A and B are shown apart, each in its own frame.
Chain A
Amino acid sequence: MEKIVDQEAAFQARIDAGEKIEPKDWMPEKYRKTHIRQISQHAHSEIVGMLPEGNWITRTPTLRRKVGLLAKVQDEAGHGLYLYSAAETLGISRDELFHQLHIGKAKYSSIFNYPTMTWADIGAIGWLVDGAAIINQVMLTRTSFGPYARAMVRICKEESFHQRQGYEIMLTLCEGTPEQKAMAQDALNRWWWPSLMMFGPRDAESPNTEQSVKWKIKRKTNDELRQQFIDITIPQAEILGITVPDPDLKWNEERQHYDFGEIDWDEFWQVVKGNGPCNKERLQARNDAWNNGAWVRNAARAHAEKRAEKERTAEAS
């Protein structure tokens, strides 16, 4: 018992000193579990996030938009792959993580349970959702677990074009016809609050924050990150000439931050619990892809085994 306490103290000291933890290093069980949960949730968000945007790939208004969106959604598959790989270093398989997702046990970012109705939604997602994700991900490049931090560095590098693409889509709409601008405003209206919810519950309702700060999974609290997002996003909306759907939004000279209205936490928890507009469709799509692909994965395995067998007999003779 004593020994574990010492080990944990030494472990924490390494993190405090800014050292990275690598997969084979000793780590408290809780550190391992928390990381598996957090990294896989993050990975699930990347691949479930492909669905609402993927929905528009075949309908982009131009070819230029098509290659941009395709490349973006493809990047998200890559992000999922990097993150599942990072989780796998902790001794859990990608298949097991998929299983947790498919049975509805694992969580992913709730924002992807909202529908993409119009082309402007693709702009709004890139601008707001990728924007919010980037704030989180930049922070995570300095997290204590080495494979997670390295995946984040790679992801942040790729992510930078996503938000620019989204904003450019919005800008083009806002500089377009009144109909286009209305489409952009409507998208902002629908995506604004869910974007703010992406940072998670209020600090007071977020019991894991303290531990996460200790392990450098978090360097800022949910509320701090949310405030940071609002402060940088409002001026961007002003350039577009559209407004966020919050009557209480006001610059606070004293705080040097925007004040904003109350988030509908009931909606937040309802969507987390699975009652969002598209939760079922998203899980259905992931399950379908998995089930339809089973015979393909089996074939690849069988083929590889046949090959290996052939090589063995060729060597033996």
Chain B
Amino acid sequence: MKYVSEFRDAELARAVSAEIASVTDPERHYKVMEVCGGHTHTIYRHGIKDLLPDQIELVHGPGCPVCVLPMGRVDEGISIAERPEVIFTCFGDMMRVPGSKGNLLEVKAEGADIRMVYSPLDALRIARENPDREVVFYAIGFETTAPSTALTLQRAKKEGLENFSVFCNHVTIVPPVRALLDSPDLRLDGFVGPGHVSTVIGCRPYEFMSEDYGKPCVVAGFEPLDLLQSVLMLMRQIGAGRCEVENQYSRIVPWEGNLAALKSMAEVFELRPYFEWRGLGFIAQSALKLSPAYADFDAELRFSVPGVRVADPKACQCGEVLKGVLKPHECKVFGTACTPERPLGALMVSSEGACAAYYNFGRKSFEKVEIGSKV
């Protein structure tokens, strides 16, 4: 295998860019959605837009797990974290996601025992070390992350740990994409599919896009050249009137996914009948909860979480941005009442959120970032 530096080879990037231009119909406008927040980040960070013809518009999708979490679920996490017997653990960005009365960082400053972890296995270790406390892990993420929660729960069960539980907010990628395809607001020509989610679920779950909706999908890696190649593969499909699922990231993504990870998820989780998504509303079978076999580890049951619905602040237009109907800077409060330092909406929190990515990299009038440069 050649060295990875080629993924940022400027000359190769220009060649792919020229090839994209040559297969683009100048009379046509193309809308391509990158589903994953990681891709949104790469696009802004490396100035990918500057390497594409004006006819190709990249639309950001719903693939950032903190961005799609409805405010009610943030509030419920906070209410568990505030309990005196609880050590509450979560991933970094989750700390700053605004609930209706503040975020986890603020609650921590007021004295709650909230700890940032890198892995759910760290939360399990904290539970082992603190047998007299209740350790709760706030699980978020798509199918890339769900297997690590599943594996952690399997280990917890094997060890018989009684003071560990999970507040499960895992979501699945296919139902929101289907909801977007059903939405009359948006006319898309194709999808750049999420790379690491596909390591787990494989490429088959995207076949409905081409079969039911006639839209091509290319599963893509996360380096700048990966994204350019994926756009090229999409444009070639569109040009030839094909619509298929293709795998640009085959060095990592097996077509069938990771069967051991899927098996572990199937044991630990089951689908929720419906789940609320910020901006997209309630979507059937779009999220995971713990299966009956793991009910003892379910924080929702252990702490009788009520499941309240909280509306987003009025000024916030996260929903429209999540659906790709508005560009981040078109939101009324972008860069004024809502900034990465003081986010009003979740899309401004993680650097993969469309608004934060746009604020950090796009806002500066799309200064060109040399693709061969080391960032």
Are A and B subunits of one complex? no
